[in-house]
Amino acid sequence: MRVTMILPALTEATSPLFRPIKYSLFPPLGLATLAGYLDTDDEVELYDEHVERLDLAAMPTPDLLVLQPYITSARRSYEIADHFRARGAHVAMGGLHVTSLPEEAAAHADTVFTGPGEDAWPRFLKEFRDGVPARRYDSGPQRTLAGLPPVRRDLIKRQLYLVPNSLVVSRGCPHHCDFCYKDAFFAGGKSFYTQAVDDALAEIDRLPGRHLYFLDDHLLGNRRFATALFDGMAGMGRLWQAAATVKSVLEPGLLERAQAAGLRSLFVGFETVNDANLAERRKDQNIGRDYSAAVRRLHDAGVMVNASFVFGLDQDGPDVFDRTVEWAVRQGIETATFHIMTPYPSTGLWRQLAAEDRILHQDWDLYDTRHVVFRPRGMSARQLEDGYWRAYRDFYRWGNIWRGAAAQPGGHERLRHLAYAGGWKKFEPAWDALIRSRRVVRALPLLERTLTAFGGRSAIGAPR
């Protein structure tokens, strides 16, 4: 059987002028995971439009085409699906957007999947080989990662990615923020579950080099699992990055183990500096937490902070941009990711705004957290969009990068801050050149040296 798997490109990633480095960070791990279920004699090819251009007319027609759309790649996904369906391929489509709007996707696919695919995908493959595939497969309530086959990393073009060693050892998140896609994706069954620790460690062992990036929504979400995982990683000599919550950072004991196992940078969803927004958006894990104490605790451990913030929540006014940037700079946060609040279909936020007639349109290309697609309450749409771009400019001004470095606890940390924050945003043209030369992986040793030279203190203080 000939199988073609494609991760269609998000709109911005196809620009002929400039492509941000974030679109060349990670390979299409979800598709490579599904490929692990294929037979050894199946012919399979894996493509990622974020890093390679495809000439659809020149591509052979597969027996099975598998697509994984995001919301801002939905239009492109449907174009690809329609092209290959017209040529006789069976098109299967799944992922976050398909789960949210299965009827929309079904107009362009022969089979759609809702929810995580580990249980439904093997059933589909058997029925497809038997000639009786269903139109729709829904993930069942009994979800598990036991027996998950090894990810088909042989299909990944490692040289095209800055971080080819990405991995996921859990699914979902224990929290239920109402602007998050994941609640709908995991509806009808367990919303957070992990691999067996030994299986996760075996996957780590298979990865070459030192650097890892855990793409889990909340790596520290199951304390027992995370503790055993970090204990098993101790002594491996790995350097890694991951995502977690303010609450988990402040809990004693777990961060110590993560740091000893090689944690050097953590993505943390602070989301808002306006406490009134947290309860409204069900960000319960942040309510009553001392953000500054979380940042200090990470910095005392020698761990860098990539902070996430959302603008345009109902309690935000026009001053939220400057207040957020000032707080982040004053804390010495190394990198920040800003977003315009975006109501994804099927989320609680979508239902609220739809009921209030505040959703402006359904042009999915613009649901990228960089455009305003709803009517804000505390400011105009123009103020929100302008403020978003101003926050990025202000946070990454050299003056603020120097101020952030000065807030670090030591000289090594200040140098690391300058290298990481400056290198990430101030040298984007150089990143773009590396991407276009298809040699971005050559920058990985520089990333490893930055994480090694200035990261990881020998002891961690308690939260202050």
Sheet holding 64-67, edge to edge: 43-48, 2-7, 64-67, 90-93, 111-114, 136-138
What pLDDT is recorded for position 159?
A: 87
Q: Of 98, 122, 138, which residue is a domain's last?
A: 138
What pLDDT is recorded for position 422?
A: 80
177 is a domain residue: yes
What's the CA gap between 397 and 325, in Å, rounded? 11
3-state secondary structure string, 245-268? CHHHHHCCCHHHHHHHCCEEEEEE
Please give the residue range of the domain that contains residue 324.
162-454
What's the CA gap between 149 and 39, in Å, rounded? 11
16 is a domain residue: yes
Q: Residue written as tokens 């470095």?
A: 405
Neighbours of 353 (CB within 10 A): 20
What's the CA gap between 412 and 423, in Å, rounded? 16
Q: Residue written as tokens 């759609």?
A: 112
Residues 198, 89 share a domain: no
Residues 198, 84 share a domain: no
Residue 194's DSSP bridge partners are 170
Q: Are 100 and 346 in contact (CB under 8 A)?
A: yes
Q: Which CATH number characterizes residue 19's domain?
A: 3.40.50.280
155 is a domain residue: no
Residues 187, 77 share a domain: no
Q: Are 428 and 392 in contact (CB under 8 A)?
A: no
Residues 428, 354 share a domain: yes
143 is a domain residue: no
Q: Which CATH number characterizes residue 408's domain?
A: 3.20.20.70
Residues 230, 364 share a domain: yes
144 is a domain residue: no
Instruction: Identify which of 278, 285, 287 has the alpha carbon closest to the alpha carbon of residue 314.
Output: 278
Alpha-helix runs per DSSP H in 313-443:
320-331, 348-355, 381-395, 398-406, 411-425, 428-436
**Distances from the Cα of 284 to the Cα of 31, 168, 186, 403, angstroms:** 32, 24, 19, 31
Residues 362, 268 share a domain: yes
Residues 400, 258 share a domain: yes
- 149: helix, coil or strand? coil
Q: Residue written as tokens 């304390």?
A: 223
CA atoms within 13 A on the CB side of 280: 14
461 is a domain residue: no
Spans in the chain with pLDDT lower than 70: 11-21, 276-288, 426-440, 443, 446, 453-464
45 is a domain residue: yes
Q: Are 451 and 211 in contact (CB under 8 A)?
A: yes
Structural domains in the chain (count): 2
Residues 168, 134 share a domain: no
Instruction: Identify which of 270, 373, 395, 315 has the alpha carbon closest to the alpha carbon of residue 387.
Output: 395
Element (H, E) at 297: helix 291-300
Residues 230, 308 share a domain: yes
What pLDDT is recorded for position 175?
A: 78
CA atoms within 13 A on the CB side of 69: 33
Q: Residue written as tokens 């075996």?
A: 202
What pLDDT is recorded for position 460?
A: 44
459 is a domain residue: no
What pLDDT is recorded for position 35?
A: 98
Q: Is the dihedral of CA 116, 28, 444, 209 positive or negative?
A: positive
Residues 254, 326 share a domain: yes
Q: Are 51 and 20 in contact (CB under 8 A)?
A: no
Residues 179, 127 share a domain: no
Residues 256, 212 share a domain: yes
Q: Are 10 and 73 in contact (CB under 8 A)?
A: yes
* pTM for this prediction: 0.90
Q: Are 406 and 414 in contact (CB under 8 A)?
A: yes
